[in-house]
Amino acid sequence: MKKFLILFLICFVQNIFSQNTQHNSETKNIKTIINDSLDYIFVDKSRDAVKDDSNKVYNSIDIDVRPEFPGGLDNFFKFVKENYKKPTENPELKGKVYVTFIVEKNGSLTDIKILRDIGFGTGAEAIRVLKKSPKWVSGELTGKKVRVAYGLPITIN
């Protein structure tokens, strides 16, 4: 039994201190993260890695100028408050609806998805309101307008 524990301890310590020695110049320049729930590909913003790919969707953190609702997020939440209609079946409903969408180069919103809602049609209503939204100020990377994935919680009180 002691020999088994010692063997297990040696294997455990060796596994902890072992290192991956794979070096690849492409791996250093481009980091690709595949988000299964959104099916987007995000690319590292290192200047050599940015290519002229008009359909690539960037993460809002990895760009120079983030997309913005005209007047800022306070105006966005005011817009949502004015246009969002609570479900009639349950008027006391409270919670958060988590949405993701893509802000296109021209500022329009596409690929609107509900990650989590609280039921009673709250997700469908959030999609309706976002489709009604005015055009956003698009995101930029190295001075060029790019498509940007964006996510927000919408609070229902």
Report pLDDT digits (tens) over 65-77: 999 999 999 999 9
Q: Which CATH fold would you assign to the domain 24-156?
A: 3.30.1150
Report pLDDT digits (tens) over 99-148: 999 999 999 999 999 999 898 889 999 999 999 999 999 999 999 999 99
What pTM does this model have? 0.64
User: What is the average per-residue pLDDT within 43-70?
Assistant: 75
Q: Which two tokens stand for residue 154?
A: 């919408």
Confidence (pLDDT) at 113: 96
Q: Which two tokens stand for residue 150?
A: 């964006």
DSSP H or E stretch at residue 12: helix 2-17
Q: Where in the chain are the domains?
A: 24-156
Beta strands in the chain (DSSP E): 32-35, 40-43, 57-59, 95-103, 109-116, 139-141, 144-156
